[in-house]
C-alpha cells in the first residue's frame, strides 16, 4: 500500500469515527430532550407546586421554548408564516377536562426521575 493510500485510508477512518461520535452525541441529546419534556409534562399535569404547572393553560410552543427545544426566533418565524386565523393555541374548552383528569395522580404512573422512564430515544419522531 502506498503512502498516499495509507493517508486516504486514515482520513476515511477518522471521518467514520467522527461520524460515529456525532451519532452517539445526537442520540444522547435526543434522549435528554425526551426526558426533560416528559418530566415537564408530568409535572405540568400532576405537580401543582412545579413551575411547569403554569404551562397547563399556555400554548405548547411556550413550553418548548422554555425547555430549549425550540428557539424563540424559530417560533416567531413560524408564527409569521402561519396563515391568518390559524391559531394553534386557541382554547377549545378542554381546560375543565384537563382539571378533572388530573385531580388525583393515577396509580402506576412513574414519578418524574424514576430510572427507565422516557430515557430511550423514540424512533417515532
pLDDT, tens digit (0-9, with 9 covering 90-100), for 54-110: 999 999 899 989 988 888 887 777 777 776 555 554 444 444 434 444 444 444 444
Q: Is the pLDDT confidence value at 121 over 50?
A: no
- Domain ranges in the chain? 3-83
Does 15 score more than 90 pLDDT?
Answer: yes
Question: What pLDDT score does 77 carry?
Answer: 75
Q: Which pLDDT does position 1 carry in this prediction?
A: 84
Write out pLDDT tens, residues 18-37.
Answer: 999 999 999 999 999 999 99
Q: What is the mean pLDDT of residues 37-41?
A: 92
The CB density around residue 110, as the number of other CB atoms within 10 Å, is: 12
Q: Which three three-digit cell numbers place residue 97?
A: 377536562
- Residue 40 clears pLDDT 70, i.e. is over it: yes
* pLDDT for the residue numbered 119: 44
Residue 122's pLDDT is what?
Answer: 47
Residues 6+ apart with CB under 8 A from 122: 30, 34
Task: Please state the pTM of the whole predicted model.
Answer: 0.51
Amino acid at each position: 500500500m502506498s503512502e498516499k493510500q495509507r493517508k486516504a485510508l486514515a482520513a476515511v477512518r477518522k471521518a467514520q469515527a467522527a461520524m460515529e461520535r456525532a451519532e452517539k452525541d445526537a442520540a444522547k441529546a435526543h434522549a435528554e430532550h425526551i426526558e426533560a419534556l416528559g418530566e415537564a409534562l408530568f409535572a405540568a399535569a400532576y405537580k401543582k407546586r412545579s413551575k411547569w404547572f403554569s404551562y397547563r393553560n399556555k400554548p405548547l410552543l411556550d413550553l418548548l421554548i422554555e425547555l430549549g427545544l425550540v428557539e424563540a426566533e424559530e417560533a416567531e418565524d413560524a408564527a409569521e408564516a402561519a396563515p391568518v386565523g390559524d391559531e394553534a393555541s386557541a382554547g377549545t374548552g378542554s381546560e375543565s377536562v384537563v382539571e378533572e383528569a388530573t385531580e388525583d395522580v393515577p396509580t402506576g404512573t412513574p414519578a418524574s426521575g424514576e430510572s427507565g422512564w422516557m430515557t430511550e430515544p423514540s424512533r417515532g419522531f
